[in-house]
Amino acid sequence: MSNADIIRAHYAASDRGDLAGMLAPLADDVRWTEAEGFPYAGTYIGPHAVAENVFARIQRDFEGFMLTVDELIDGGDAVVGLGTYSGTYRATDRPFSARVAHIWHLADGKVTTFEQVTDTEVVNRAVVDRG
């Protein structure tokens, strides 16, 4: 299985809502970085921290959160996923749609680093209560 196939499998697991499948390719010491300005901004170390601080919070805070991947760029040990996030923030009932790039680095078939790049302003227009 190529590194691009490993990331495709992660995205397929995400589409199915399969948390174990999403976490499976992550190295024990993966460094997972959510973009500054994103609601879950920061760097999380290890699959448990990613599950708790990113995936569980998305599930809790957003209705219908979805990532649609348009393109996967296979650079060998680096893979880039391009797509669009969408969903509705539960607390404000505001929908959003924002472009995103995921930058994955892999070694020996495991994700060692992940970096999210997205338009955080678009996301935050849904999240921030401007009441």
How big is the CA angle at 112 (ends 44 and 36), to the nearest 5 degrees? 40
Question: Cα-flanking dihedrals φ and ψ of residue 77, to 5°?
Answer: -75, -10
State the residue range of the domain holding 44.
3-127
User: How high is the pLDDT of residue 130?
Assistant: 65
C-alpha to C-alpha distance for 41 and 118, rounded to whole angstroms:
11
Number of domains in the chain: 1
Q: How many CB atoms lie within 10 A of CB 112?
A: 15
Question: CB–CB of 109/90 below 8 Å?
Answer: no
Instruction: State the residue for tokens 């998305």.
Output: 58
Torsion of CA 35, 38, 42, 47, to 10 degrees: -90
Give the CATH number of the domain where residue 48 resides: 3.10.450.50
Mean pLDDT by 10 residues, the chain (131 residues): 97 96 98 96 98 97 97 98 97 96 98 97 85 57
Tokens of 104: 């994955």
User: How high is the pLDDT of residue 87?
Assistant: 97
User: How high is the pLDDT of residue 91?
Assistant: 94
Question: How many CA atoms within 13 Å lie on the side-chain side of 39?
Answer: 19
